[in-house]
Structure 1
Amino acid sequence: MNAPFKATENGLMALVESVRAEAAMEPDPVHEGEAKSETQIIAIYGKGGIGKSFTLANLSHMMAQQGKRVLLIGCDPKSDTTSLLFSGRACPTIIETSARKKAAGEDVAIGDVCFKSGGVFAMELGGPEVGRGCGGRGIIHGFELLEKLGFHEWGFDYVLLDFLGDVVCGGFGLPIARDMCQKVIVVGSNDLQSLYVANNVCSAVDYFRKLGGNVGVAGMVINKDDGTGEAAAFAEAVGIPVLATIPADEDIRRKSANYQIIGKPDGRWGPLFAELAENVASSQPQRPTPLDQDGLLGLFSSQMVGGNVVLEPASQADMRGGIVIDKPSLEIVYDQV
């Protein structure tokens, strides 16, 4: 671990060297061999704002109501994964609690960072302040602390990890790269950007499978479905099942905005989340076949994504705002003997 940077007259150079040293650090080798654990550890990825936290809060609540022991861990710097479970109230994050306790010379206890609601155990890893650190490094630090608190000894049926899919730096790919989970679930909708993120996740899984990894994609949850079918077509194209389709319904939108759980066994949307819980439990991790850019764009009509556009190359005259006058080259050309 690099020593903290101290401002000196050579501070800028020291910072540059520190950043270079950190960038040169090789990740731990990917674990080889079959993942064996009675606990299903599942990482959920998706574009920011696509509804991962909404989906996970309701899924975890349903699982708990079915008698399962569930731990929900928010791994997004926004720290909003658990907010729905606690009616909008934010949980103290592991990173901020760790920093505060360390400054006071105290150890972090499980009760400082883990809280219960509706039978679900929930916590947030958190992240650094804007511009003051790497979110991926924060994820690594958070999991290191969880290990010290006994993460591998806890007796849960399911551990659900909520990861931001837009960010491609190493820390957010830990579950895939280091076999920290058995399977991945992607959340997407019928729009290009969310499917672009889902495809990136599939590419990451495929890449680490080639290196000997075991993590696979267990399926896709289609959120805010308007019936146009692009997300379902994507799932079929990459070879993963659709685990649930959550409609773009005003009742769901309103209750979610008011921090209300809808994944209740006796509620209107109970059967939907009960089916999702069953599919999540039984789905098997698959090695997906990610699409190239043209394949992804091909899921949408050309009018929607500009498929009929022809790229027109720019010239030096365009770049300079007028006519370019050729100047003699300063290149030295040697006569061949």
Structure 2
Amino acid sequence: MIIVPRRKLGSQGFEVSTIGLGCMGMSPLHGSSKPAEQMIEVIHAAVESGITLLDTSDLYGPYTNNNIIGKALEGEMRHKVQLATKFGIKSLSGDTGMVVCGDPAYAKEACNASLIQVGIDCIDLFYIHRVDTKVPIEMTVGALKELVEEGKIKYIGLSEASPETIRRAHAVHPITAVQLEWSLWTRDAEEEVIPTCRQLGIGIVPFSPLGKGFFSAGPKVVENFASNDFRRSLPKFQGENLEHNKIVFERVNEMARKKQCTPSQLALAWLLHQGEDVCPIPGTTKIENLKQNIGSVFVKLTMEDMLELESIAASVKGERYSPAVMQDTWKYANTPPFSSWQAA
């Protein structure tokens, strides 16, 4: 059996598998619900293969994702994983109306709720899912620091945070990991956010490392989107952008054939070669895709391969999200308000 090796995430001693498992798709945020029993099988297969970092959020479902993971981690399984979950986006009505909340009292309330939902007594990595522009980050992180002191969480993380926010948060309590979108599909964090993390010794956890499924299924992934799948609204999947990005996929696919791997493995390998401080969290609901993702750990790339992939990636067309939703990303982290949308 292939066993995933480990690496250190951040500078506080947190050691995780080289890649993690993103569990968002196991709940109906992508427009369709999956049977809990099948999702538990995927989680167990991941853990048995050496994946230790499981990523979820109280938003996913909402709450049902935490419940699924709780069932999967019953018994000895809990001791084989590090659980990362998030708080800070409150669902107002199902999975549509949402608001960011970084209030210190709510942070503690959300932590206690997640502990109950998963059925554990300590969260390994607790992320602030989105930055609340109405609450100083120092206050939110201060509440998490108290949770660390109480033994309810071990490490603190940020998601979709700007360099300034990261620095301010880190000054209150060491930040172990920053979660951000990073892939051949999306590279805007490379200029400022990633260098800031590295300067401060913070681990980097790329979400959507396969471009929202683009590098795993190719352009045909669009055909399989449910009618209410939020990815339908993404600029990269629309019109001329999609037609152009089909060419990008073909170039990646051609290179993958030469490397005797799949396009998804090549895309993940590119991320893994960015540094030992990077732990991508590809999501999947299928064991065969899980096995492919694990195989990426063993794909070796030369400097020439890396440069070729970056040249291909440079031609990707389309923003990450629509203009309204882009206001909620790290680039505009100090610009309220937060709109209603499907979060990653």
* TM-score using structure 1 length: 0.35
* Larger helix share, 1 or 2: 2
Q: Which has the larger radius of gyration?
A: 1
